């Protein structure tokens, strides 16, 4: 049976969500920002804004220079998650194998649910129609269909906005006279290394002897070659394979300072957000990574193995605080990061050395209250006044549980 993979990518997602919610924004250049300050980053721009050169990664001041009439909005993660939940609910009606790749992308394995590309295209058309009818008429999606994840995503990447493109494995070479960076997984640095071997297009990579790639790139070289030659290596991943190996939170400080009281308050907020994500996974962590960067370069990063797995915000914070206070600050701090790894299933058994069950139950109860009534309904006193710092945000890579609805996901260190 021929494998049939569908990849759906929502176009200018956060911006079109805002246009869907507010009809007065439709047809106008819109930029969604992490923060509205001058150096805030554009995380999504509408199709109209992109025509002026406003792209993801632009700073607010750059966006205004490129498009003076642009309408800038601060992101509302809860709104986007709600819309995503409705979209993924539709996707799950067509197959039991859905892999959320990010908040606005997903792979569907239609093998067995459709017998050929024609039937798969019919499903894609139905998905598009249902999204517009049941979720929002302004939402647009590019859909790619092929026999591998790579080719399906490549098809959606190069497809016109709000359209469907089918790439058959045997005819993929017709689409490969493109720059290497047009392909999923090839960045500028990798492109330079491939160029040094005389590989400048995807067709060059497809024809290049794989035996010559292995000594230079190892396993990565084989993956690159296999992708453009239509060889599936991973398939659509199930929920077990998607479970993260680490959780964390990072924050660029609006106030650059050496004030330890201020920095510790922010650090506690980061530990709380990281702890909430850890507890949603029903996991404990054996390792903590803490780091910060200075305004003028340099900083400190350290990974520490814990004597006892951490679960509660208090213990995460105490471990991070100890690492932080062990350093004498040399400059103003501009960036803080906390990450937990070595994740293991939650142990509901009391420790021989300290009674941790009561704290676990308290943490879970506080999470339930904040989930129901909103962040900062119940919080540690040390966090007072930090409501506007390190607010909720959406990352470009998320782990999303389809069958249980869209959850907050995992925000990785360095995102």
Residues known to be catalytic: 105
Contact call for residues 151 and 166 (beta carbons, < 8 A): no
Q: How far apart (Å, rounded) are the C-alpha atoms in residues 385 and 122? A: 53
Contact call for residues 92 and 86 (beta carbons, < 8 A): no
Q: How far apart (Å, rounded) are the C-alpha atoms in residues 393 and 90? A: 24
Q: How far apart (Å, rounded) are the C-alpha atoms in residues 128 and 10? A: 10
Smallest CA-to-CA distance from 125 within 108, 141, 148, 109 is with: 141
Q: How far apart (Å, rounded) are the C-alpha atoms in residues 186 and 188? A: 7
Smallest CA-to-CA distance from 8 within 180, 236, 234 is with: 236
- Going by C-beta distance under 8 Å and a sequence separation of 6 or more, which residues neighbour residue 67? 29, 49, 52, 53, 54
Contact call for residues 278 and 285 (beta carbons, < 8 A): yes
The most distant pair of C-alpha atoms in the chain lies apart, rounded to whole Å, by 65
Q: Residue 207 region, left (φ>0) first, then alpha (ψ -120 to 50), else beta?
A: alpha
Contact call for residues 8 and 127 (beta carbons, < 8 A): yes
CB atoms within 10 A of CB 368: 11
């Amino acid at each position: 049976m021929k494998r049939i993979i569908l990849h759906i990518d929502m176009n200018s997602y956060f911006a079109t969500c805002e246009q869907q919610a507010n009809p007065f924004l439709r047809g106008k250049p819109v930029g969604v920002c992490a923060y509205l300050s001058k150096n805030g980053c554009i995380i999504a721009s509408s199709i109209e804004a992109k025509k002026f050169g406003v792209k993801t990664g632009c700073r607010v001041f750059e966006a205004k220079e490129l498009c003076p009439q642009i309408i800038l909005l601060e992101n509302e993660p809860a709104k986007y998650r709600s819309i995503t939940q409705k979209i993924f609910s539709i996707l799950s009606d067509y197959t039991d194998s859905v892999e959320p790749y990010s908040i606005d992308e997903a792979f569907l394995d239609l093998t067995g649910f459709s017998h050929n590309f024609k039937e798969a295209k019919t499903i894609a058309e139905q998905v598009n129609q249902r999204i517009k009818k049941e979720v929002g008429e302004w939402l647009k999606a590019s859909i790619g269909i092929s026999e591998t994840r790579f080719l399906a995503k490549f098809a959606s990447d190069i497809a016109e906005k709000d359209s469907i493109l089918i790439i058959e494995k045997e005819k993929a070479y017709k689409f490969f006279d493109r720059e290497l960076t047009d392909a999923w997984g090839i960045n500028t640095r990798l492109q330079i290394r491939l160029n040094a071997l005389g590989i400048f297009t995807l067709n060059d990579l497809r024809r290049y002897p794989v035996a010559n790639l292995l000594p230079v790139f190892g396993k990565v070289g084989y993956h690159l070659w296999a992708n453009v030659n239509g060889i599936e290596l991973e398939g659509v991943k199930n929920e077990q394979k998607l479970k993260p190996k680490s959780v964390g939170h990072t924050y660029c400080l609006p106030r650059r300072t050496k004030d330890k009281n201020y920095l510790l308050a922010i650090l506690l907020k980061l530990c709380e957000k990281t702890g909430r994500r850890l507890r949603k996974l029903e996991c404990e962590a054996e390792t903590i990574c803490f780091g910060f960067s200075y305004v003028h370069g340099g900083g400190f990063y350290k990974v520490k193995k814990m004597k006892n797995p951490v679960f509660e915000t208090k213990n995460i914070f105490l471990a991070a605080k100890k690492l932080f206070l062990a350093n004498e600050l040399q400059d103003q701090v501009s960036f803080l990061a906390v990450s937990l790894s070595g994740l293991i299933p939650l142990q509901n058994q009391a420790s021989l050395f300290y009674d941790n069950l009561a704290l676990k139950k308290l943490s879970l109860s506080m999470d339930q209250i904040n989930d129901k009534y909103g962040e900062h309904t119940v919080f540690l006193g040390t966090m007072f006044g930090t409501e506007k710092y390190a607010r909720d945000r959406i990352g470009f890579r998320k782990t999303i549980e389809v069958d249980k609805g869209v959850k907050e996901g995992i925000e990785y260190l360095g995102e």
